[in-house]
Amino acid sequence: MAKTFNEKALTGINFTIVLYFLGIYSVYVFELEHIAIGVVRELLTIPFLVAQLPLLYIGAKRFFDNEKISSLYVLSVSLLALCAILTIGSFLL
């Protein structure tokens, strides 16, 4: 089976998704209203939300299958799991 992502790319994608949702939360907390922010939020929220679960699965599978993983990779998968719990959990409340 061919590997789809290497560890470095997966780490970067995980951190990008986590930082995006952290940015969305910051926009909400600080009540920033701008057309450009709204456009970016509308365009990227659903794709990033949908991408969380498959990337979390890929990251966890690689984490448990591989013995030699960097601590940055473990941090990115952990933060993505926390982000997925918080974002998907927000729909259930």
Domain that holds residue 87: 8-92
Helix, strand, coil in percent for the chain, rounding step 5: 80, 0, 20
pLDDT at position 93 is 74
From 79, 82, 17, 85, select the one nearest 51 (Cα to Cα).
Answer: 17
pLDDT at position 68 is 86
* Residue 62 within a domain: yes
Tokens standing for 30? Answer: 């600080």
* Residue 3 within a domain: no
pLDDT at position 29 is 95
Please identify every stretch of the chain with a pLDDT value under 70, giving residue numbers as ranges: 1-3
* Residue 70 within a domain: yes
pLDDT at position 11 is 95
How many domains does the chain contain in total?
A: 1
* Residue 61 within a domain: yes
Question: pLDDT digit string (tens) for 19-38?
Answer: 999 999 999 999 999 999 99
* Residue 79 within a domain: yes
* Residue 1 within a domain: no
